[in-house]
Chain A
Amino acid sequence: MSIMVGKDTRLLVQGLGSAGRFHTDKAIAYGTNVVAGVHPGKAGTTLRFEGATDHSGVPGRPDTYAVDVPMFETVRDAVAATNANASVVYVPPFGAADAILEAVEAGLELVVCITEGIPVQDMVVVKRAMQGSGSRLVGPNCPGVITPHECKIGIMPGYIHQGGRIGVVSRSGTLTYEAVKQLSDVGLGQTTAVGIGGDPVNGTNFVDVLEMFAKDDATEGVIMIGEIGGQLEVEAARWVKENGTKPVVGFIAGETAPKGRTMGHAGAIVSGEEESAQAKKRIMKECGIHVVDSPAEIGKTMAEALK
């Protein structure tokens, strides 16, 4: 089993500029079922993706693939024609919030927004507009979501993933890869890896993903990778203390970050004492999370915790 995405995911891609096309090609090579694209001025055409199969993805496929993805002007048209149930957004920053809203309005269950650099006030509006909606937003400014050997949505390198027993949830892209690779190396593998993104206002948060992993029978433990700034990790730690049944290994990046400076991610800034890495780690430990001081220890710490 897995969470959010899997064999039944029918993916729609919003924004097929050069980045959108590049990653759509990689997703198809991995075996993701891409059913539609939305891009201005392209309705009625198809976009062909072909190349060598990525055999780290969905098993049992021929060595090459050639897929014609039908293009649409609006998300509603695309959903009506193809029954897409998830969307990934590669639309540039100033159009991305609108693209999310369009996907939500069309009733897609899952919207994954990869776009980096969306103005915060745009996300404030998106969050407000999504209140009460049945859609789930992951991101923005995130690597995406992957269930190994089933479905890859986003920009993560597929081949480092290995199907297995551990759920991964992270605010950081490359640190997710770091954790995933270690889990693959120690033979634990992943059920699903979710990048929730580094922006201050986003869709899905740690607690949402922890709840889903808790209900997923295949997931035996969870890796949680946080950063300085905000309260999300602290909320997650308290949730683990109250509700947790599976071991959680945690890391917080930014112990050495100076106060008041934004460290790359718009959300990674220490504005109060409780937002520092030290404070978050302390609270996580108090709540029973196995906290590691270096990301290099994530894999073996989880292996220990499962014993």
Chain B
Amino acid sequence: MKIHEYQAKRLMAARGIAVPEGRVATTPEEAVAAVRPLVEASGSPVVVVKSQIHAGGRGKGRFKEHADLGGVTVVTDGIQGGVEAAEAKVRSLAEQMLGSTLVTIQTGPEGKAVNRLYVEQGVAIARELYLSVVLDRATGRNLMMASTEGGTEIEEVAAETPEKILRETIDPAVGLADFQARRLALGLGLEGDALKNGVRFMKALAAFASDLDTDLIEINPLVVTESGDVMALDGKMGFDDNALARHPDVAELRDETEENAAELEAKEFGLSFIKLDGSIGCLVNGAGLAMATMDTIKQVGGEPANFLDVGGGATTENVTAAFKIITRDPNVKGIFVNIFGGIMKCDTIADGVVAAVKEVGLQVPLVVRLEGTNVELGKKIIDESGLNVVSATDMKDGAQKIVEAAR
């Protein structure tokens, strides 16, 4: 699960990790009201207005409705005109940004609607750095990565100047050790107060990752201020869905408006569903088999419309729900049901498919391949249903038949 920047900063602040002061706003009035307290608390007349969406590249992103407006805008009007001038500018920005669609390198051309802004104090930046904590699958441990190239995409740094990425593997029995944090901080060229603050920041962030079960934390940029503070100017975080139940405070940060409605609905029925752009709907049991089914459809000249794993313990109701979710996609020109029954019984799948077709009708060709537990029973249910279903002998046969039928 991803969360917004303002939520990530609140979580960090609560654990003693330095972030700038800021306030969230869903209306222009709230945005304006944030300005004065921020200016008074920080002593800086500069504030920053930041769009809150689950995608990176916001600063360079542009609004569909306002082609010259970036998703993150620094307001300097307060330097000359005082708080009132900053407030006026923030009002005009908020009026344009809220409800508009921000297109960034990560949103795709359709962009994302901006429903929230984060108004933040301006920070006197001396240096911009990069810091992240990710799972390193090679070692089975968390890895902290740091770089002097803050503000740049880390993939770019990795490709062009890999020597500029510093790495420390975190032993779960120890956490990030002092010497490791010092090594990173020294490697970044931090000294004096900044060195001390950097070490503290890194150790707290490493503990944050293991305590809250993040699967990714990226602080880009991590800034060193002119007074030697080290703070997170941005914060991108993802959390392990499997651990959310033990972090109710994190779980409640879920923003469903950022997620695909069909994928959310699928989750309620225990289905793993991902919408894709093709025309062949797939209903499969098992993640590996579901991926292989998509691959096979592509090989025989089709394009899958989705990934859908009904899971091992699916009931007739789950299967019916899965079928409905697939048929609702107007791009779907044919459906391929590919089941290898193990724990999942073929007759359960057959019952679910028949029930769904009776309920929502069948406007497109349907190919069913059943194999494994109770396969004869499953085939009998399909045959006796009177539905217009094409049977397939194996995965490839089924893929060929559905791609042909959907042409």
A residues with CB within 8 A of B: 19, 93-94, 117-125, 127-129, 143, 155-157, 160, 170-178, 181, 198, 200-201, 225, 227-231, 251, 253-258, 261, 263-268, 277, 293-297
Contacts and interface: CB of A to CB of B under 8 A. Distances in A.
Contact of A175 (B171, B243, B288, B304): B288
B378 to A, nearest CB: 14
Contact of A256 (B173, B298, B373, B396): B298
Contact of B299 (A121, A156, A294): A294
User: 10 closest A-B pairs (Cβ-Cβ)?
Assistant: A172-B288, A264-B287, A174-B286, A119-B243, A253-B291, A174-B289, A175-B288, A296-B396, A127-B140, A254-B291
Given A120-B242, A155-B342, A200-B137, A263 B287 contact: yes
Contacts of B140: 123-124, 127-128, 201
Given A174-B285, A174-B289, A125 B298 contact: no
A261 B274 contact: yes
B340 A178 contact: yes
B137 A155 contact: no
Nearest to A120: B240
Contacts, number: 168
Contact of B288 (A129, A253, A258, A297): A253
Interface residues on B, range: 35 or more
Contacts of B289: 172, 174-175, 178, 253, 295
B291 A268 contact: yes
Contact of A178 (B138, B215, B395): B395
A243 B291 CA distance: 30
A294 B338 CA distance: 14
Nearest to B215: A120
Contact of A263 (B240, B290, B343, B395): B290
Interface in B122-139: 135, 137-138
Contacts of A157: 341-343, 372-373
B265 interface: no
Nearest to A200: B137
B288 A173 contact: yes
Main secondary structure of the interface of B (DSSP, over half): mixed
A176 B343 CA distance: 13
Question: Most chain-A CB neighbours within 10 Å: which of B171, B284, B292, B373?
Answer: B292
A152 to B, nearest CB: 12
B371 interface: yes
Given A198-B288, A296-B394, A93 B242 contact: yes
Contacts of A174: 284-286, 288-289, 340, 342
A197 to B, nearest CB: 11
Interface string B347-371: 0000000000000000000000001
Contact of B395 (A93, A121, A123, A295): A295
Contacts of A257: 291, 294, 307
A129 B292 CA distance: 35
Given A155-B342, A156-B342, A174-B284, 20 more contacts: A94-B245, A120-B243, A121-B142, A121-B243, A128-B171, A143-B342, A157-B372, A171-B288, A176-B288, A177-B340, A178-B371, A181-B371, A201-B135, A201-B140, A253-B292, A256-B294, A256-B297, A263-B274, A263-B291, A296-B396
Contacts of A201: 135, 137, 140
A98 B394 CA distance: 41
Interface string B140-154: 111000000000000
Nearest to A22: B343
A201 B137 CA distance: 6
B312 interface: yes
A173 B285 CA distance: 9
Interface in B173-198: 173
B210 interface: yes
Contacts of A266: 240, 242
B272 interface: yes
Contacts of B77: none
25 contacts: A119-B213, A119-B243, A121-B213, A128-B173, A156-B342, A157-B342, A172-B286, A173-B286, A174-B284, A176-B288, A177-B340, A178-B371, A251-B292, A253-B292, A254-B291, A255-B291, A256-B298, A256-B304, A257-B291, A261-B274, A267-B137, A268-B287, A296-B394, A296-B396, A296-B397
